[in-house]
Amino acid sequence: MIWYRSYTLEEINELFAVNMTGYLGIRATSISSDSMIAEMPVTDKVKQPFGLLHGGASVVLAESIGSVASNMLIDTDKFAAVGLEINANHIRPVTKGTVYATCKLLHQGKTTHVWDIQIKNEKDALICISRLTIAVIKKPTV
């Protein structure tokens, strides 16, 4: 088990229900001992003008799941996990249905985490692969 703190799917989906993730319909569907899965419906909200899943929406899905996963690895009373860098390769188009992001840890250091996030369609075909680097910083005082 890699998690410092265990969240329930309900707790994660409360986080996802607001802001951009809520608008795009992103929901966590599974948490295992070393990975997390989230889904996003392919609606007009996440398509580019030509009717295909927008690459930026795939990146939002990837960064969202990776950021939540990193916050599950740290003491959030003392630290915050924030996106440092993300890249994405868009492999094939999607026009309908649901896409599923699987987030797996590649590296867990004291100040950085690196995640591999694979997004697949309903037929389990790879549509996007992303690598997310997270910076672990001291929690800012407000």
- 104-124 in b/e form (b: 16+ CB < 10 A) is ebeebeeeebbbbbbbbbeee
Please identify which of the residues 10, 11, 39, 63 carries the catalytic annotation. Answer: 63
Residue owning tokens 């909200």: 45
Q: How many CB atoms sit inside 10 A of residue 1's CB? A: 7
Tell me whether residue 63 is one of the annotated catalytic residues.
yes
Give the residue numbers marked as catalytic.
Answer: 63
